Every structure is written in structure tokens, then in C-alpha cells.
Structure 1
Amino acid sequence: MDRSADASSISPRRRSPGSRRSARASARSASPGRSTTGSLSGIPTDGAEPPRSLGRRALKALAARHGVRPSKALGQHFLADPNLARRIAVLAGVDRGDRVVEVGAGLGSLTVALAATGAEVLAVEFDRGVGAALREVAAYLPHVRVLEADALRVRWDRELEGGSWKMASNLPYNVAVPILFGLLERAPQVVDYVVMVQREVGERLAAWPTKQAYGAVSARLAYQADVSVLRRVAPSVFWPEPQVESVLLRITPREPPVSTLRDHLFPVVDEGFAQRRKTMRNALVRLGLSPDDAVRALEGCGLDPRVRAESLGLPEFACLAEAVFGRGPDRG
């Protein structure tokens, strides 16, 4: 997973004096320009061949060696299907020479598939016990860097250097949404995302007005990116198996389709969905308009005063935001 109290690295579990020297040598081999907030792996040992895939049996053996037990509290469901891992790499358009960030790298099944393309991979993992197992895998993958850190606190401007990046990740269920929005807001160098999330979450993220799943998070994401569902994913491809399906999403950042400032737009969106059974007239009153002014604002935007938030798209929310806050500075 990918949350931590800090971004400091830890040493592998004690095995022998020789293994401790190898760990120190690997740390010294990091290039000067790389961050020291995480562990840098990627030095093949003893001429061993890089792993081509990590299936369920290999993952369980790896976890056992490191005393890893999947944590329900951390939303840990490790991808255990090498075919799907390779498919995700294809869907993400990852190729030799690309830079890819993987958040919630876990035990490395997707990491191996991404590395096999010849891309440079930054594998971010929160759980320190899992991170030790991930470093074992990454030691055979020369273009993989392991960063043990909280993805919600990572300084992406420091970690994602060298131009544009892609993201391909099996995100932990319990923090998928804040991770995505954090990256969208703080990592403009990531130009395309293919991520796996819980189905219910994915459907909310990709929903459009009038759809049952449509909500504040849908409108917030539509403000800054195009979103599509690529496919459903069965629980059977994970270890341990979750109780729900997942989906693969493609998220492509772009300029907002409306000129209204987010600091004006998002409060109207959030208030509109705060009480879903209430009308937008009530939401505007809660934002400070008088009941009469709320009706005039809605009618001025061509809306029925009884309309609810789930029927509104970004242009309608933007019009109402301008009625509440006034028109912000032109993006022009």
C-alpha cells in the first residue's frame, strides 16, 4: 500500500553480514540526482534473471519470507494475475523509455510487468513490511526505484523528474480517491493514468449527470480530467480476494471546460450534493443567498428552482457559482 507516517527508507531484514553490505552498496550506488526519501533498488544480484511474472503462489511465498500478512485496514489486495498485470501495462501504453509511477506497488506483480516493457518505474509503497518484499523483487529489475512513502505526502515535484510520466497502479481501496486527486493537483507531469479501484468508487469517479453514481467527486474530477471505465475486474485476480469487483479506469488530465475558479465552483458542487434530497435552491441559501436571490440565480441560469444537484453538469454549477461568488479573474 502507499501510506506512511514518513518517507524514510528501511533496511532489509537481517539475513547475513553479506546481505547488509549489499544493502549499503545499493544505497551508495544511487545516482546523485535521486531523492533519498525512499529506498533505491534495481541492482541485479549474482547474475540472476529478472522475474518475468509473479503469480499467486510466488506472491504467497514472497509474503511468507517477509512475514507479510495482507492488512484489511490498509485495503491490501495484491494483484495475483500476471496476465492482467501485463494487460494493464499495455492499456497504460507503457513502452521502453517511458517513466511510470506505480502507487501501492504491494508485492510487485504489476511492477514486474511494467519493468518488462523497458520503462523506468517508480514503485511507491507505504507498508514497510511489504516494502522489504518489494525491494527483493526490485533488486532484479534494473530500471525500478522503490520509494517507501506516504503517497499523500510525497513531494512529487522532487520524485517525478525528467519530463512527462504515466501512472499505472492497483490503488489501495481505502485511499484511492485522495491519492488520485492529490496527484492531479500536485503532479502535473503525470499526463495519463490507468488505475484499478473498487468498482463502486470507479463508477462514481466516471459518472455523468443524471446517473445514480454521479456526485461531488464525479463533478470535481470532470473539472480537471476525462475519465472512462476500461473494464471490470473480478475479485479472483487478487490475493486475498475482496468482497467486491474492481474496475480499471483511464484518467487523462486536461484544462477545465469552464472558466470559473475551482475555489468558487467546488463549494457550490459540494453544497449541492451535501443533502442529495434537497434542491439547489436550498443549497444556494446555505451558501448565503436569500431564498429570493437563490430562485433568481437558478432562473438566470435557465434552471428550475426545484432542480437537484444530480441533474447539473459543470456549466450549470459554474453559472451558479458566479451568482454566489461573482465571476473570478479570466483564465485568459
Structure 2
Amino acid sequence: MSNKHGHQARKRFGQNFLHDPGVIEKIVRAIHPKPDETIVEIGPGLGALTEELLQANPRLQVVELDRDLIPVLRTKFFNYPDLQIHEADALSFDFRQLMTDGPLRIVGNLPYNISTPLIFHLLEQAGVVRDMHFMLQKEVVQRLAAQAGDNHYGRLGIMAQYFCRVQPLFEVGPGAFRPAPKVASAIVRLVPHEQLPHPTKDLKTLQAVVRTAFNARRKTLRKALASLITVEQLQALGINDGLRPENLTLADYVHIADFLFEHSGENSNEVSDD
């Protein structure tokens, strides 16, 4: 489906362009951008949100993969000479290079097909980020915010909450986009912790433990983590091996990972981060 700028929304980029002025205003209010901040927008599309952000911060930086959109953005915002457009894939982009005046504030209407890997990529760079505001599929926001025992609880939520405070803000219906997606969306705010609530001794070990557990989420821990840790070791850590992966808290996973990291030389089953 094309629009007044003649740009066809591309399925391979997962493009759904935001057009509802009321929703855009609500998002900008939630972000509360200021002129002296380093604000980065991922996937500006046709610039509906960009326009509002530029009015608050004329030095906005945007990262856009679709090269056909870049001339559209340059033309639309020709009167904002300080707007910086980076033609790049956000999944491999080093956001740290943009940090010149204080931490980054990252915003974006994220394409559904890259939202999870992109969030993992950004979490690795959380040290340079003040906050992130994203439009995502509602289900992804539920996964980010889920607590132990919830249906949506899993690897994404655990690792997001390791690095950030997760705050779902509000839902957005399909009609706010062109073309309208088949699912509801929601806005979420991620604020990196100043001090990690449950710091691990080795992040790669924690990531491997969580991945291994949720690759077998329907099994009990004794089976799901059998390649990494014995029943006796789980019990010695005070963890019930009959529980399922979704019943353990972030603190529990850090506890297991730290034990494995400390004993990695003694165990023939080395933890790998495949």
C-alpha cells in the first residue's frame, strides 16, 4: 500500500507507518524530548514521529535501513540542517558512536520482524543509554514486562529486566498505522538500571543458562538444565528441580549462572553461548 509520498510499505522491512496524530502526540508526551539531549530514532519511516521530535530537538539522529526513504526524509526535513541520517541496519549499528553529549535516548516504531533481536542488540549497549521508548507488538511488550509464572515470561523478559526497568505505557490499535497491522501494538519504556539489581559474575554464562532453560520451557528444570547442572547441585542452591523454567526469577537464574561460572573448570559440561 502506498501513501501520499508514493512509498510502498515493504513487507521484508516489516514496515507499518504511523499516521495517527493523537497517538504520535501521546508518544512524544511520554518521551518528553528536550533540545540538549542526544535523541536517536530507529526506523523513522516517512517521518511522522520524526517531525514532532525535531521540533523539540533539531539535532535528532535517525537510523534508517530502507535507502528509498532517505531522500524522502531529506526532502521533508530540509529545513532541519542538524538532522543526522545514518543509512544503516540497526541490528548491527554501533549506537555507542553517537554518544557525544551524555547518554542516548532511543525511540522507534520497531518493525515486528526484528524487534526481539534488536532489543537484545540494544541491551548489550545499555551502558550508553538513558532510556528507550519503543512501539512494539503488544505481545512483545507483555513478554518484556512478564514476571516469573506469567504465560509471556521467558528469555526476552529476563534479559531485559536484568538490564532495565520495564514500564508498559499504553496500547495502540491497528488503525493508527498504514497499512494496518493484524495485531495491537503498545508503547514500552525501558530505563537501564543505574545499579544492576542482580549482577551476574559472567553475562555469557547467564545468557547461556536462560537460553538453555527456555529451549525446553515445557520440561522440568532437572531435564531442561541437565546438560549444565545436576539435580544435586540445583537442590544445593535451594532450587526445586521439579519446577519449570518459567517459575524461576531473574535472581534464581543469576544464582545458577554464578555457581556454574565459579565451577566451570570442574565440570566437563562447559557452558557455551551458542
Same fold by TM-score, threshold 0.5 exceeded? yes
Match of residue 110 from structure 1: 49
Would you say 1:60 and 2:3 are equivalent positions? yes
Would you say 1:123 and 2:123 are equivalent positions? no
1:188-212: CA deviations, max 9, x gaps? 3221111101111111111111110
Q: Superposition pairs for residues 1-332 of structure 1, below 5 Å?
A: 60-62=3-5, 64=6, 68-186=7-125, 188-254=127-193, 255-260=195-200, 261-287=202-228, 289=229, 294-326=230-262
Instruction: Give, in angstroms, the shift of residue 187 of structure 1.
Output: 5.5
Question: 2:4 corresponds to which letter in structure 1?
Answer: A
1:67-103: CA deviations, max 9, x gaps? x210112100011112222221220121222221000
Match of residue 54 from structure 1: none
> What is the number of residues matched between the two proteins?
261
Please tell me whether Structure 1 or Structure 2 has the larger radius of gyration of its CA atoms.
Answer: 1
**Inter-partner Cα distance in structure 1 for 2:49 and 2:65:** 16
**Inter-partner Cα distance in structure 1 for 2:234 and 2:59:** 51
**Inter-partner Cα distance in structure 1 for 2:207 and 2:57:** 40
Question: 2:212 corresponds to which letter in structure 1?
Answer: E
Change (3 A) 1:327 1:114: farther
Instruction: Give, in angstroms, the shift of residue 184 of structure 1.
Output: 2.5
Q: Contact between 2:162 and 2:196, CA under 8 Å: does it hold in 1?
A: yes
RMSD: 1.8
Runs of 4+ deviating beyond 4 Å: none
**Inter-partner Cα distance in structure 1 for 2:221 and 2:259:** 13
SS at match of 1:219: helix
Question: 1:277 corresponds to which letter in structure 2?
Answer: R
SS at match of 1:173: coil
Q: What is the TM-score when the length of structure 1 is the normalising length? A: 0.74
* Unaligned residue ranges in structure 2 (runs of 5+): 265-274
**Inter-partner Cα distance in structure 1 for 2:263 and 2:39:** 38
Instruction: Give, in angstroms, the shift of residue 213 of structure 1.
Output: 0.3
Question: 1:150 corresponds to which letter in structure 2?
Answer: D
Q: Contact between 2:41 and 2:61, CA under 8 Å: does it hold in 1?
A: yes
Change (3 A) 1:98 1:325: closer
Percent identical pairs in the alignment equals: 34
Instruction: Give, in angstroms, the shift of residue 216 of structure 1.
Output: 1.0
Q: Contact between 2:37 and 2:102, CA under 8 Å: does it hold in 1?
A: no
**Inter-partner Cα distance in structure 1 for 2:59 and 2:66:** 22
Q: Contact between 1:95 and 1:119, CA under 8 Å: does it hold in 2?
A: no
**Inter-partner Cα distance in structure 1 for 2:192 and 2:256:** 24
**Inter-partner Cα distance in structure 1 for 2:95 and 2:240:** 44
SS at match of 1:182: helix
Moved more, 84-93 or 100-109: 84-93
**Inter-partner Cα distance in structure 1 for 2:199 and 2:127:** 19
1:137-179: CA deviations, max 9, x gaps? 2212344221111112223232332222211211111111222
**Inter-partner Cα distance in structure 1 for 2:197 and 2:186:** 26
1:228-285: CA deviations, max 9, x gaps? 1101110000011000000100000113322322122111111111111111111231
**Inter-partner Cα distance in structure 2 for 1:321 and 1:155:** 28
**Inter-partner Cα distance in structure 1 for 2:28 and 2:171:** 16
**Inter-partner Cα distance in structure 2 for 1:173 and 1:160:** 26
